[in-house]
Structure 1
Amino acid sequence: MQFTNTPQRYGVISAALHWLIAVVVYGMFALGLWMVTLSYYDGWYHQAPELHKSIGILLMMGLVIRVIWRFISPPPAALKSYSRLTRLGATLGHITLYALLFSIVVSGYLISTADGEPISVFGWFEIPATLADAGAQADLAGSLHLWFAWAVVVLSLLHGLMALKHHFIDKDDTLNRMLGKSSSDYGVQK
């Protein structure tokens, strides 16, 4: 079990951050879609947004940790079998996913603090409001938040489909490397 990334595969920490953030993002997306269907008299009408905000702040922290970890333990180099277009697409796709994820949490922060109130994170600590212009800020940030969330879901599904394409059609190590394995684990060299 390798904690850091190697030239051949991702380590346990990178893989755990990848999959944990993916699960949290999809959970937050589902929670967000469900929240907007609640009526004022629903018991979750006030609780769901507080839960969404708290998890959103923890997600932001996780994203920052993930980016820092990429500098501490750089990801494995692209496989030699990748074409120039594949390398470019992967790089642009990853940069876009990171940019969208940070845009989602920043826009969520702007929605949540538009009234000038801090965000309480499960009652453990508070994140202060830095910008507050209730109506305009919340409306614009809310629209962006929704579009960024849909964009992340679509792009991450494409990301997953590309990993499956590499695994089942190209039969390369792309998916195995994120699972902490490589073909060399099975006595096969690529």
Structure 2
Amino acid sequence: MLRNSSLHYGWISIILHWLSAVLIVGLFGLGLWMTELGYYDPWYKRGPDLHRSLGLLLFALILMRWLWRQLNPVPLPERSLKPWEVAAAEWAHRATYLLLIAIAISGYLITTAKGDPIWLFDWFAVPALFGEVKGMEDIAGEVHLLLAWTLVVLSAVHALAALKHHFMDGDNTLIRMLGIRSRRNQ
């Protein structure tokens, strides 16, 4: 089933979720790695170009994911969840979307600080909205790094919560996002 139901995530939501997760982890690792590259390293230019292109793809994916979430029912939470767990999950999802958008915006501001566009794999350019803005690259870079670390911590909590629900609580929270049918009826 492609669409969500009241009990299960559909394949489109599942694919969008895991593709986002892979891109987030990959972009974080690539971002840390490329900041250590020396000027004469062959990846000195290629690393940031790849990071920017993948970041643009992730931004588009997040917008698609948000739109898909608006057009589909969100499966009901497990009955065993406490009200605070349901509220925490909802706030974590909202914070994740906001962080991803803010990270994308700060990344855009880093790259366009000198008035240059961002190229998506040399296919097309996303133009700069402003001309050169002195100091914007450094400020946006600090914000980008802080937000990226915040996202990593929030994602780790998200993953640990899913594992807790699976292994300690024995509920279907995790397996629903893996596309596996429930172990038992809700």
Q: Is the 8 A contact 1:7 1:75 kept in 2?
A: yes
Once the two structures are superposed, the pairs formed by residues 50-61 of structure 1 within 5 Å of their partners are 50-61=49-60
The residue type equivalent to 1:10 in the other structure is Y
Q: Per the alignment, in what secondary structure is the counterpart of residue 114 of structure 1?
A: coil
Pairs within 5 Å for 1:100-115? 100-115=99-114
Say if 2:6 is the partner of 1:7. yes
Corresponding letter in the other structure for 2:142: S
Aligned counterparts of 2:73 and 2:140: Cα–Cα separation in 1: 33
Partner of 2:126: 127
Amino acid at match of 1:49: P
Whether 2:185 is the aligned partner of 1:189: answer yes
Match of 1:162 in 2: 161
Residue correspondence of structure 1 range 1-190 to structure 2 within 5 A: 2-183=1-182, 186=183, 188-190=184-186
Contact 1:116 1:131 in 2 (8 A): yes
Name the Cα RMSD after superposition.
1.1
Distance 1:61 1:189 in 2: 35
**One-letter amino acid matched to 1:159:** H
Amino acid at match of 1:24: L
Cα deviation code 1:22-41 (max 9, x no counterpart): 00011000100011101111
Instruction: Report the identity percentage.
Output: 46
Distance in structure 1 (CA, Å) of the matches to 2:132 and 2:147: 21
1:132 to partner: Cα distance? 3.6
5+ residue gaps, structure 1, are: none
**C-alpha distance in 1, partners of 2:146/2:137?**
14
- Read off the aligned partner of 2:44 and give its amino acid letter: Y
Range 131-140 or range 156-165, more displaced: 131-140
How far apart, CA to CA, are the structure 2 residues paired with 1:141 and 1:164?
34
Instruction: Give the number of equivalent residue pairs.
Output: 186
Counterpart AA for 1:189: N
Rounded to whole Å, the distance in 2 between the matches of 1:113 and 1:74 is: 38
Distance in structure 2 (CA, Å) of the matches to 1:67 and 1:132? 30
Give the letter for the 2:168 counterpart. I
Unaligned runs of 5+ in 2: none
1:134 to partner: Cα distance: 3.6
Distance in 2 between the 1:128 and 1:79 partners?
A: 45
| CA apart distance, 1:182 | 3.1
- Whether the aligned pair in 2 keeps the contact of 1:107 and 1:144 (CA below 8 Å) is yes
Task: Encode CA deviations 1:17-67: one digit per residue, 9 max, x unaligned.
Answer: 000010001100010001110111111111111111111111110010000
Letter in 2 for 1:53: R
- Give the Cα separation in 1 of the matches to 2:30 and 2:108: 16
Q: Which one-letter code corresponds to 2:3 in the other structure?
A: T
- In the TM superposition, residue 145 of structure 1 has moved relative to its aligned partner by 0.3
Structure 1 length as normaliser, TM-score? 0.94
